[in-house]
Amino acid sequence: MIATVPITMDALAECLHAEQADPAIHRIATQFHTLSYYSEHTWPMTRWRGVPVLKMPLDLWIYQEIIEEIRPALIIETGTAFGGSALFFADLLCLHGPDGRVVTIDREEMNLADIVQGHPRIIPIHGDSSSATIIQAVSSYVQAARGPILVTLDSDHNAPHVRAELDAYAPFVTSGSMLIIEDTNLGHIVKPEVVAGPREAVETWLPTHPEFARNVLCERYFVTCSTWLVHRGDEA
């Protein structure tokens, strides 16, 4: 039998910070991140049940751990793309019982593919995720949800649009659940031409919202395209 020593989440986070700060580890992780992002044979070819998923597999693994832990009654996704991530989320919810829905929003109606429209757990919405009309439509599903609500933002990556989404959708996230901002690697690890993207939006928004905190343990595989925020509650 292997003896184990209990370790707190804070201690784990401290260890992870130390590892990420190590120049050698940072260099290797950055090289792998860049290689994986730009290669035509890695995440651009990632599929879930045959449907393209525009997320790195390591991030998908973190998503399934979060969904298993939180058991959300509602997942709100901005940016449907090919529908693979909405299908991935919905299938995971099916493992946890008869409840749980995915609201997925996209400007392009063609992105709300048949696989999305045909899944009983997926509610596709066509429109700009930052518009008042769409936010009002989503709020009706929020009010009807009987359990935790998780939000993932992955649509227009311009900083003003992401900031508008943060202002609109963060209040929907329930205490203890997660708010994920995708593609915060843009302009930093990859695509240096992006000067005001998702990371800049988060960096200006987060200091004024102490109810949210960065969950660095979601970055423990060293390569992630996202910023993972946990809702600590109004008392934070």
Residue 127: what residue type? G
Residue 105: how many other CB atoms lie within 10 Å: 29
Per residue in 4-30, pLDDT (tens digit) is: 555 566 776 677 777 777 889 889 999
Per residue in 133-190, pLDDT (tens digit) is: 999 999 999 999 999 999 999 999 999 999 999 999 999 999 999 999 999 999 999 9
Homologous superfamily (CATH) for 9-231: Vaccinia Virus protein VP39 (3.40.50.150)
Q: How far is CA 4 from CA 49, 66, 185, in A?
A: 38, 24, 35
Where helices occur in 75-216 by DSSP H, the ranges are 84-94, 114-117, 132-144, 159-169, 198-205
Record the pTM. Answer: 0.91
Supply the pLDDT for residue 98.
85
Cβ–Cβ < 8 Å for 153, 135 = no
Given a cut of 50, whether residue 61 has pLDDT beyond it is yes
Given a cut of 50, whether residue 216 has pLDDT beyond it is yes
What is the mean predicted confidence (pLDDT) over 111-137? Answer: 88
Supply the pLDDT for residue 199.
97
Cβ–Cβ < 8 Å for 76, 145 = no
- What is the DSSP-derived secondary structure letter of residue 21? H
Two structure tokens written together for 43: 């995440």
Cβ–Cβ < 8 Å for 153, 169 = yes
Q: What does the mean pLDDT of the chain come to?
A: 90
Strands (DSSP E) contained in the chain are 47-48, 51-52, 74-78, 101-106, 122-126, 149-153, 178-182, 212-214, 226-231
Long-range (24+ apart) CB contacts under 8 A made by 232-236 are 232/175, 233/175, 233/176, 234/175, 236/210, 236/211
Domain boundaries, the chain: 9-231
Supply the pLDDT for residue 109.
76
- For residues 134 and 14, what is the distance between their CA atoms, to the nearest angstrom? 40
At residue 1 the predicted structure's pLDDT band, cuts being 50, 70 and 90, is very low
- For residues 218 and 89, what is the distance between their CA atoms, to the nearest angstrom? 17
Identify which of 31, 61, 109, 23 has the alpha carbon closest to the alpha carbon of residue 221: 61
Per residue in 73-102, pLDDT (tens digit) is: 999 999 999 999 999 999 999 998 888 999
Identify which of 107, 62, 103 has the alpha carbon closest to the alpha carbon of residue 81: 107
